[in-house]
């Protein structure tokens, strides 16, 4: 290895025989000056990019991921601390600054080494250009449920173990004993034979001189002391007393406030702004025309907002203002038909000869499903505080992609990337939305026009009407059943593919399969929405398998179970959910029970939902969730993420519908884009399987299966098969609950 230069800093010492090691000792005086700023005093040593050891033996885990409620700051620190044998009571965390030195290169390196599946959705950056592996080195993205499986498994753990190894070596040298006679426990190094023990910190300086091992031995699960336990999350105390600072809470001397309105019809520009109507309003500082949006800057947010409402803005027309939601679904159907007619079907997956099997089948089952566009609607509306000063652009916001945001702002303002400084705060909900930098670029452009810091806050309406939406889609199925009702062919065509590729795949043993899609672009901006394509495909596939069970005259749980004979991991999860739900137990009148299973981001989740139909309204009463993520690093955090994914998915399935009217989003706030609330929230039970398989994610896998489990439960209760979401579009008030006819 050569000398550390700032540029070499991120890559040097990283790869050794395909493994990943962050063997970089940074000490005061290191040329990586942005990192040096994180060293509080001259006595501290930074062992590598993920761990800092202070003289008082405090271990600070430096986490290259954003905290948006998923507990990642805590879980990643647990993984590092456990491998290091640190004293958990003296472990803290620090979110890495948005500097390239802290890029999430565990992910990129893991990819390069073949250790992890690189989530395909990350191949596209926010503006769609291709990320090479080298560019991926510059990532610090939080998404794809990958913080624990990638950064945690091949970053934090290796860093912790390597750091422990050099500390032991330094202690062995100091005490002149073989390293093999030493052990580490709770931040102490212990030599039993001489009854000596001393804190890690005593050996920090010496250890920092040693090369970190390329492949330190990692603990096996029976050796874990912190991983797998329910420690309390770092971020909770500040979130119960109002002191937690989110992006919207940034405060700077002399700061002004901005409210913004972009063209309601996506992709159209501002034609004219008439500000004569706001001339006499108090506190107004500036009107900024951003080209596709207009912002008002004022002394207070309320003043800016009122003035914006009064401003007369005309937007250009580009034809999109004629588009209605029904046009979009018609376009999808037409493009699907056209793809088949023209032989342009794009194959996702094919095995056997599904078309022949269908043609010769005794029984064919067909169904078509639809899902709407969805908005993320995090509780904290998009916002960013920006300040242009001394040739730099300083930003305060909450983002899932701090480096990407800084790069986008640099690009938009024609600044050097080094001159954009981004301070990431807690995210008041992310769900994929805060991977898109539009609001940050707006704030930076406004700030470029004024000499003071500006806090841009989107109204809820702006947030809902200028989201990056989960795609609307249509999915069509045909399946062949043999004389026993078992499927022999599965043909699925859908529209609008994003990521991950495997989202429409099924775990069931069906010999002949053909899964394909058609492209059908619309003017509606697309975005990652919690679990991305899994959120729609689980609804499609797990609804249809339920329909096959019904057509076969079989119990929907047993039908799945039988088709999972060759997929024992799936079957175990399914069986556990059914068992905990007492699947065969009777339910009261007007109740129904449904089941679904889906794998996403390496984690298998099966859910059972029990619903009650009250005056035609569907009320989810109970949700039972079984999850196998390989190993749950933080079981209570895993349960919390399952609860969260369930409520998020239930909200969408029951209520959420973003529809296009005259080219723009018709909905604007929680009155017309309603949310599941306390009185509708079911009891949720989560059961964890630690199968020991490769570790998967937690933030997203709780969402996909809940929508099909819900509609399957509604079918069980009412006999009505809901094939288009959301559920509230359907009138269930006249269902004859006795007959359970198939709708």
β-strands 392-397, 473-481 pairing: unpaired
For other proteins, which residue of 37, 178, 211, 282 counts as binding (CB under 8 A)? 282
Least Cβ distance, residue 619 to other proteins (angstroms): 11
| Residue 69 lies near other proteins (rule: CB under 8 A) | yes
Least Cβ distance, residue 249 to other proteins (angstroms): 4
Q: Which CB sits closer to other proteins, 236 or 359?
A: 236
Q: Which CB sits closer to other proteins, 60 or 651?
A: 651
Least Cβ distance, residue 585 to other proteins (angstroms): 22
| Residue 615 lies near other proteins (rule: CB under 8 A) | no
Euclidean distance between CA atoms 732 and 735, whole angstroms: 5
Of 75, 36, 81, the C-alpha closest to 60 is: 81
| Residue 646 lies near other proteins (rule: CB under 8 A) | yes
- Strand, coil or helix: 451: coil
Least Cβ distance, residue 715 to other proteins (angstroms): 24
Euclidean distance between CA atoms 35 and 509, whole angstroms: 52
Tell me if 61 sits within 8 A of 80, measured CB to CB: yes
| Residue 459 lies near other proteins (rule: CB under 8 A) | yes
Tell me which residues in 347-386 interact with other proteins (CB under 8 A).
Answer: 377-381
Euclidean distance between CA atoms 68 and 511, whole angstroms: 42
For other proteins, which residue of 105, 118, 301, 544 counts as binding (CB under 8 A)? 301
Tokens representing residue 681 in the block: 């929230």
| Residue 279 lies near other proteins (rule: CB under 8 A) | no
With contacts defined by CB under 8 A, name the span among 29-37, 202-210, 336-344, 423-431 that binds other proteins: 423-431
| Residue 614 lies near other proteins (rule: CB under 8 A) | no
Least Cβ distance, residue 248 to other proteins (angstroms): 7
Across 412-536, where does the E strand assignment appear? 420-424, 454-457, 473-481, 487-495, 512-518
Q: Which CB sits closer to other proteins, 167 or 629?
A: 629
Tell me if 697 sits within 8 A of 150, measured CB to CB: no
Q: Which CB sits closer to other proteins, 671 or 738?
A: 671
Least Cβ distance, residue 10 to other proteins (angstroms): 30
Least Cβ distance, residue 33 to other proteins (angstroms): 31
Least Cβ distance, residue 447 to other proteins (angstroms): 18
Euclidean distance between CA atoms 371 and 172, whole angstroms: 63
For other proteins, which residue of 156, 171, 311, 640 counts as binding (CB under 8 A)? 640
Of 377, 393, 375, the C-alpha closest to 385 is: 393
| Residue 620 lies near other proteins (rule: CB under 8 A) | no
Binding residue count for other proteins, defined by CB under 8 A: 61
Which strand (E) or helix (H) includes residue 622? Answer: strand 617-628
CA atoms within 13 A on the CB side of 444: 27
Note the helical H segments in 223-280: none
Q: Which CB sits closer to other proteins, 305 or 534?
A: 305
Least Cβ distance, residue 300 to other proteins (angstroms): 5
Euclidean distance between CA atoms 281 and 79, whole angstroms: 55
Q: Which CB sits closer to other proteins, 41 or 232?
A: 232
Q: Tell me the CA distances in angstroms from 98 to 14, 63, 66, 444, 552, one per residue in order.
A: 20, 11, 10, 16, 55
What does the per-residue mask of binding to other proteins show for 658-687, with x meaning CB under 8 A?
-----------xxx---xxxxx-x-xx---
Least Cβ distance, residue 702 to other proteins (angstroms): 9
Q: Which CB sits closer to other proteins, 251 or 360?
A: 251
β-strands 383-389, 454-457 pairing: antiparallel
Tokens representing residue 242 in the block: 């109002």
- Please give the radius of gyration of the chain, using alpha carbons only, rounded to the nearest integer: 27
Residue in this structure with the two tokens 């652009």, named with its chain if needed: 393
For residue 352, what is the DSSP state?
Answer: S
Q: For residue 316, what are the contacts with CB-CB under 8 A and spacing of at least 6?
A: 263, 268, 269, 270, 271
Q: Which CB sits closer to other proteins, 83 or 680?
A: 680
Residue in this structure with the two tokens 């990056």, named with its chain if needed: 468
What does the per-residue mask of binding to other proteins show for 234-263, with x meaning CB under 8 A?
-xxxxxxxxxxxx-xx-x-----x------
Tell me if 400 sits within 8 A of 434, measured CB to CB: yes
Q: For residue 312, what are the contacts with CB-CB under 8 A and spacing of at least 6?
A: 273, 274, 277
Q: At what angle do helices 635-654 and 706-718 cross, to 10 degrees?
A: 60
Tokens representing residue 557 in the block: 């749980």
Q: Which CB sits closer to other proteins, 41 or 243?
A: 243
Euclidean distance between CA atoms 683 and 738, whole angstroms: 26
Euclidean distance between CA atoms 132 and 138, whole angstroms: 10
| Residue 68 lies near other proteins (rule: CB under 8 A) | yes
Least Cβ distance, residue 423 to other proteins (angstroms): 15
Euclidean distance between CA atoms 560 and 608, whole angstroms: 13
| Residue 296 lies near other proteins (rule: CB under 8 A) | no
Tokens representing residue 598 in the block: 């889906």
For other proteins, which residue of 578, 647, 660, 709 counts as binding (CB under 8 A)? 647
| Residue 83 lies near other proteins (rule: CB under 8 A) | no
| Residue 233 lies near other proteins (rule: CB under 8 A) | yes
**Ramachandran angles phi, psi of 664, nearest 5°:** -120, 165
Least Cβ distance, residue 387 to other proteins (angstroms): 17
- Strand, coil or helix: 34: helix
Q: Which CB sits closer to other proteins, 244 or 413?
A: 244
For other proteins, which residue of 71, 149, 155, 404 counts as binding (CB under 8 A)? 71
Q: Which CB sits closer to other proteins, 427 or 632?
A: 427
Least Cβ distance, residue 527 to other proteins (angstroms): 16
Q: Which CB sits closer to other proteins, 379 or 742?
A: 379
Query: How many beta carbons lie within 10 A of that of residue 301, not counting itself?
Result: 18
| Residue 726 lies near other proteins (rule: CB under 8 A) | no
Q: Which CB sits closer to other proteins, 213 or 649?
A: 649
| Residue 648 lies near other proteins (rule: CB under 8 A) | yes
- Strand, coil or helix: 427: coil
For other proteins, which residue of 460, 523, 580, 621 counts as binding (CB under 8 A)? 460
Tell me which residues in 582-611 interact with other proteins (CB under 8 A).
Answer: none
| Residue ranges in contact with other proteins by CB under 8 A | 68-71, 232-233, 235-246, 248-249, 251, 257, 282, 300-303, 377-381, 426-431, 457, 459-460, 636, 640, 643-648, 651, 669-671, 675-679, 681, 683-684
């Amino acid at each position: 290895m050569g000398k550390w230069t700032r540029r070499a800093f991120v890559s040097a010492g990283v790869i050794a025989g395909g493994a990943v090691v962050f063997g970089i000792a940074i000490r005061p005086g290191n040329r990586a000056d942005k990192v040096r700023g994180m060293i509080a005093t001259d006595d501290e040593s930074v062992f590598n990019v993920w761990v800092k050891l202070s003289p008082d033996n405090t271990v600070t885990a430096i986490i290259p991921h954003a905290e948006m409620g998923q507990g990642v700051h805590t879980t990643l620190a647990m993984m590092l601390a456990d491998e290091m044998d640190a004293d958990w009571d003296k472990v803290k965390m620090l979110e890495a600054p948005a500097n390239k030195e802290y890029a999430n290169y565990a992910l990129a390196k893991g990819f390069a080494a073949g250790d992890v599946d690189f989530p395909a959705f990350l191949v596209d950056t926010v503006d769609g250009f291709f990320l090479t592996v080298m560019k991926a080195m510059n990532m610090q993205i939080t998404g794809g449920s990958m913080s624990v499986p990638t950064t945690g498994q091949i970053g934090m753990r290796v860093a912790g173990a390597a750091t422990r190894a050099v500390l032991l070596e330094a202690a062995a040298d100091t005490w002149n004993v073989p390293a093999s006679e030493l052990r580490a426990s709770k931040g102490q190094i212990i030599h039993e034979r001489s009854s000596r023990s001393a804190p890690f910190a005593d050996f920090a300086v010496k250890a920092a001189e040693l090369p970190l091992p390329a492949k330190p031995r990692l603990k096996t699960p029976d050796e874990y002391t912190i991983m797998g336990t329910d420690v309390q999350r770092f971020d909770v105390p500040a979130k119960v007393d109002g002191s937690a600072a989110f992006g919207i809470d940034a405060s700077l001397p002399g700061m002004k406030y901005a409210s913004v309105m972009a063209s309601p019809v996506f992709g159209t520009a501002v034609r004219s702004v008439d500000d004569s109507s706001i001339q006499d309003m108090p506190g107004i500082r500036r009107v900024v025309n951003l080209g596709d949006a207009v912002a008002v800057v004022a002394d207070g947010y309320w003043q800016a907002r009122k003035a914006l409402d009064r401003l007369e803005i005309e937007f250009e027309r580009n034809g999109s203002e004629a588009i209605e939601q029904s046009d979009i679904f018609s376009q999808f159907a037409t493009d699907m038909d056209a793809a088949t007619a023209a032989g342009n079907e794009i194959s996702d997956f094919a095995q056997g000869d599904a078309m022949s099997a269908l043609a010769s089948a005794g029984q064919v089952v067909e169904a078509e499903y639809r899902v709407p566009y969805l908005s993320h609607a995090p509780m904290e509306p998009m916002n960013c505080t920006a300040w242009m000063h001394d040739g730099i652009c300083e930003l305060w916001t909450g983002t899932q992609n701090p480096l990407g945001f800084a790069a986008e702002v640099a690009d938009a303002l024609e600044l050097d990337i080094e001159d954009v400084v981004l301070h990431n705060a807690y995210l008041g909900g992310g769900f994929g939305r805060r991977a898109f930098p539009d609001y940050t670029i707006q704030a930076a452009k406004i700030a470029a026009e004024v000499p003071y810091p500006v806090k841009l806050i989107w109204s809820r309406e702006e947030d809902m009407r200028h989201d990056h939406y989960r795609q609307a889609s249509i999915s069509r199925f045909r399946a062949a059943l043999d004389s026993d009702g078992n499927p022999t062919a599965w043909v699925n065509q859908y529209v609008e593919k994003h990521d991950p590729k495997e989202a429409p795949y099924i775990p069931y043993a069906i010999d002949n399969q053909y899964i394909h899609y058609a492209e059908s672009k619309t003017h509606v901006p697309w975005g990652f929405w919690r679990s991305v394509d899994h959120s729609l495909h689980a609804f499609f596939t797990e609804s249809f398998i339920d329909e096959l069970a019904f057509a076969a005259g079989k119990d929907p749980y047993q039908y799945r179970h039988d088709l999972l004979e060759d997929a024992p991991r799936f079957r175990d999860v399914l069986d556990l959910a059914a068992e905990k739900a007492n699947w065969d137990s009777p339910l009261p009148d007007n109740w129904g029970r449904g089941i679904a299973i889906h794998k996403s981001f390496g984690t298998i989740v099966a859910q059972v939902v029990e619903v009650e139909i009250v005056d035609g309204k569907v009320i989810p009463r109970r949700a039972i969730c079984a999850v196998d993520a390989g190993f749950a690093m933080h079981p209570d955090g895993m349960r919390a993420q399952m609860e969260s994914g369930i409520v998020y998915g239930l909200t969408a399935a029951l209520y959420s519908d973003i529809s296009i009217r005259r080219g723009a989003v018709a909905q604007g706030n929680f009155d017309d884009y309603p949310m599941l609330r306390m009185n509708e929230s079911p009891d949720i039970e989560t059961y964890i399987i630690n199968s020991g398989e490769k570790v998967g994610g937690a933030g997203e896998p709780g969402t996909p299966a809940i929508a099909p489990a819900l509609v399957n439960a509604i079918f069980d209760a009412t006999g009505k098969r809901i094939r288009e979401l959301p559920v509230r579009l359907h009138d269930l008030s006249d269902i004859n609950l006795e007959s359970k006819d198939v709708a």
